[in-house]
Amino acid sequence: MIRGSIEVVPDKSISHRALIIPSLATGESFIRNLSPSEDVKRTWNILEAIGVKIEETPEGTRILPGKFREAVFPLYSGNSGTTVRLMLGVVAGLGLFSVFCGDESLSKRPMRRVTLPLSLMGAQVLGRNNADNLPIAIQGGDLNGIEYKMPVASAQVKSAILLAGLNADDETTVIEPAPSRDHTERFLKYMGADIKIHGPRISIKRSELNPINFIIPGDFSAASYFITLALLHPDAEIEIRNVNLNPTRTGFLKIIEKMRCTVEIEVSSKNPEPVGNIRARTCKGFHGTEIKGELIPLAIDELPLVALLGTFAEGETILRDARELRFKESDRIKAMVSELSKAGVKIEELPDGFIVRKTTKFKPVKLSSHNDHRIAMTLSIFARLVDEKIEVEGTEWVKISFPDFFEKLEELQG
């Protein structure tokens, strides 16, 4: 039996921005409910290394934009793509010579998608594989605005360009091939930036930012593990309170609907980010479907969970247009296909996704998290849903986004 009402970890994407963007403001900001994830700590440390003062106070995390300075050592981003990509845009705009490095996984991930537009704006960039891989050294300053058509829908790339554009001459415009999460635009607008959004075109001019006082809502991506558990479990009813419900993040709810199940949503506040409660209970009617197109970037971090929904849904579930999953903390297509296959799930790899068929017989096995927090959490939910003994190795990686994931899971199963 799964029952309970919980809050999940504060949103990681919003927490990065809640540290970075107020660091560029004209005065001190206060942020409450910052994510305790390891990724967000990397952003905090890098901001401090370039002169921002950040401290915990009884009123929340205080961010005091200081006098920026160049760090005399490499800026270590650990496992965090959001940290390095957004901070490349920030230091380019501020003209601070910087060298970025990261862990083994981050050092394999593509960075050219950010270093190319920043060099078109006038930054000089050097890095492995033609500035596609860390370590990367960047010298910006005196940037010019550009109009840039992004080849992939990526909130990290969009954010890096907009943050650089905040300190560039003329106007900077990014054009998205499909909508991606818009937390950066919301923050910039809320803090008074000269930003205009016309459909896929987002333009920004050099602006001063007002300080803010902001409470970070729960992370929808973190909530989606428990939503999946509740929907697929034979006897479950849970509530998740104070979750971010930004429509550019909740594509997973549309996927669930396409598969003929639903959750109840109650929105409590809207500005600058919609927040509310989610109630999910057992759903016996999951049907296979095809997930592709514009839904992909709106559910990008939840797509490994689609493999679980497909395992228990009638018929066949097909995921397409999701090649981007290969460039996350692990190759998430390969990781899900190889691990679920070991457990007996009927799943096949596609170049840009997978096909999974309803499976009723599983094998007891040891599965690997591929050192990826989202694979670790997805497989741990899978393990709770099947009767066979499934062990998951490398679950300590949950610390990257959701350090108390297992405590919350116990709370619901208690």
- Residue pair 76/102 in contact by the 8 Å Cβ criterion: yes
Minimal distance, residue 267 CB to ligand S3P, in Å: 22
Minimal distance, residue 187 CB to ligand S3P, in Å: 12
Please list every residue from 143 through 162 that binds ligand S3P, using CB under 6 A. Answer: 154-156, 159
Minimal distance, residue 80 CB to ligand S3P, in Å: 9
> What is the torsion angle, in degrees rounded to the nearest 10, for the CA atoms of residue 244, residue 247, residue 253 and residue 255?
-140
* DSSP three-state, residue 6: strand
Q: By CB under 6 A, name the one of 13, 15, 61, 378 that touches ligand S3P.
A: 13
Minimal distance, residue 183 CB to ligand S3P, in Å: 7
In terms of CB distance, is 37 or 380 closer to ligand S3P?
A: 37
Q: By CB under 6 A, name the one of 19, 91, 300, 412 that touches ligand S3P.
A: 300
301 in contact with ligand S3P (CB under 6 A) = yes
80 in contact with ligand S3P (CB under 6 A) = no
302 in contact with ligand S3P (CB under 6 A) = no
| Alpha-carbon torsion (327, 333, 336, 339), positive or negative | negative
Sequence-distant (6+) residues with CB within 8 A of 257 are none
Give the angle subtended at the CA of 39 by the CAs of 37 and 41, to the nearest 5°: 75
Give the x/- contact pattern for ligand S3P in 16-55, rule: CB under 6 A.
x---------------------------------------
Q: What is the DSSP string of 40-85?
A: HHHHHHHHHHTT-EEEEETTEEEEE-------SS-EE-TT-HHHHH
In terms of CB distance, is 83 or 173 closer to ligand S3P?
A: 83
* DSSP three-state, residue 288: coil
In terms of CB distance, is 239 or 324 closer to ligand S3P?
A: 324
In terms of CB distance, is 181 or 186 closer to ligand S3P?
A: 181
SS3 content of the chain, % helix, strand, coil (to 5): 35, 25, 35
121 in contact with ligand S3P (CB under 6 A) = no
Which residues on neighbouring strands pair with residue 31, listed in sequence order? 61, 214
Give the x/- contact pattern for ligand S3P in 313-332, rule: CB under 6 A.
-----------x--------
Nearest of 296, 229, 290 to residue 259 by alpha carbon = 290
In terms of CB distance, is 109 or 241 closer to ligand S3P?
A: 109
In terms of CB distance, is 180 or 378 closer to ligand S3P?
A: 180
Q: Which residues belong to the active site? A: 301
Minimal distance, residue 26 CB to ligand S3P, in Å: 25
User: How many Cα atoms within 13 Å fall on the side-chain side of residue 257?
Assistant: 9
CA 388, CA 378: separation in Å to the nearest integer?
16
CA 4, CA 362: separation in Å to the nearest integer?
28
Minimal distance, residue 40 CB to ligand S3P, in Å: 10
Provide the 10 A C-beta neighbour count for residue 1: 10
82 in contact with ligand S3P (CB under 6 A) = yes
Residue with tokens 């969970």: 305
Minimal distance, residue 14 CB to ligand S3P, in Å: 8
List interacting residues with ligand S3P (CB under 6 A).
13, 16, 82, 154-156, 159, 180-181, 300-301, 324
